[in-house]
Amino acid sequence: MLRREFLKLAAATAVLPSLEQPAYSSLTKDDEAYLDDLERHGCLFFMEQASPATGQVLDRAEARIVNPTEGKLDSRRMASIAATGFGLAALCIADKRGYHSRADIIERVRRTLRFHADKLPNIHGFFYHFTDIETGERFRDTEVSSIDTSILICGILTARAHFKDDAEIQELATAIYNRVEWPWLLNIPGELTLCMGWKPESGFLKGRWNHYCELMMIYLLAIGSPTHPIDPACWNAWSRPEMSYSGFNYVSAADPLFVHQYSHAFFDFRYKHDGFADYFANSILATRAHQRFCLNLGKPYTLNYWGISASDSQHGYTAWGGPGMRGKSSMQGFGGIDGSVVPNATAGSLPFLPAECLRVQRSLKDRYGRYAWGRYGFCDAFHPDAQWYDPDVLGIDLGISILMAENLRSGFLWQIFMRNPEVSLAMQRAGFHKP
């Protein structure tokens, strides 16, 4: 059923600009101006909310809506290895778009790579999820994280491909990637799915990357590793459960919307299949289903106001955001949806549903920008009916927003990242081919 659904979608959208090169050719001048504003503000976060010495990027910072002119480093010290990865890719965008001095950007990339290559503690090449922004010490009891290390590696490989004439960046980026011992995370004889992480106090985490989600980047980086690869058979080992909601059939496991976005920020899955699916078409379907899910919830959700994903909420960080399995609207333990909107949900899906997501993005800024838009763009989430606007921005949520905005505008991240020979080799080993 899923293969037929993908082929139907591919046939129906074959002439749409969203699936042509460049990524989307129907942007108006106002669309371009909005996206440029989004990217410029987001890239500023990755310049200002990172340590000039280590290059590590803060997990979160004040949204700075009340006083948007102040750009001091937030006093909180918890850096995110994933935010740092998104930040390296954002620096490439900032260089392409001329948002900052090229000399300053290159120096920041060099310092970031030096620190991560030589000073930041690693376990078999993997890094702790959260660290102290200046010292690099493990933050509290955080885990060594496979997904967050993978996002970092994706950012590093993006920088290596973009700054191809800088010998130091080439050497350091390659060394960090080649050091990662991916088979270590298999950790059980005969096991073909990767473990989610490790803690020094208790060993390997119980969770495994065993069903479709943001995991594709981990497996492809591991399969393509020139020094410590895993068997390509591991690509076939994780499950691809079928979701059916409101007439949409697609691969998903009732996870938040970001799982359909993260790997796509770097890997270009357009125009290709593996032995199971067209994952770009799958993300289009998942985003359409998510839009329908929000609209089915009723007020306050409308065509101008929808989009929920893992984010801050009035009651803390919440992994909410999607229909349940087999068309049910159960949140599968993600918590009840209260009318909040999460701007990165539609920003991260811009290449999948350009017109629909742009409509939401521009409407949110026009209607709520006075309270929700600050120095770094949108605050992480807000609930206008409750008069709640998140006081913070999150690095990973700004990261997916600006990367996917640029992919919509130009396909730049895809073009750069796919130049890495390890990436092409990994996709070949995993069985990707043009239909």
**Burial call 44-79: b when 16+ CB within 10 Å, e when fewer:** bbbbbbbbeebbbbbbbbbbbbeeeeeeeebeebbb
Helices (H), 203-350: 216-224, 279-297, 343-347
Q: What span, in angstroms and rounded, lies between the C-alpha atoms of 399 and 176? A: 21
Q: What span, in angstroms and rounded, lies between the C-alpha atoms of 235 and 229? A: 12
Over the stretch 383-433, which tens digit does the pLDDT of each residue have? 999 999 999 999 999 999 999 999 999 999 999 999 999 999 999 999 999
Which residues face 79 on adjacent strands? 58, 131
Which residues face 61 on adjacent strands? 393
Could you tell me if 153 and 226 are in contact, meaning their C-beta atoms sit under 8 angstroms apart? no
Query: How many whole angstroms from its chain centre is CA 210?
Result: 19
Could you tell me if 218 and 194 are in contact, meaning their C-beta atoms sit under 8 angstroms apart? yes
Q: Given this model, what pLDDT does residue 5 score?
A: 46
| Length of the chain measured in residues | 435
Q: What span, in angstroms and rounded, lies between the C-alpha atoms of 289 and 287? A: 5
Q: Which fold has domain 2-429?
A: Glycosyltransferase (1.50.10)
Contacts of 212 (CB under 8 A, 6+ apart): 238, 239, 240, 241, 251, 252, 253, 259
In the chain, where the domains are located: 2-429
- For the chain, which residues score pLDDT lower than 70? 1-24, 325-335
- Report which of 166, 116, 121, 164 is spatially closest to residue 144, judged by C-alpha positions: 121
Q: What span, in angstroms and rounded, lies between the C-alpha atoms of 311 and 264? A: 19
Phi first, then psi: what are they for 88, rounded to 5°? -65, -40
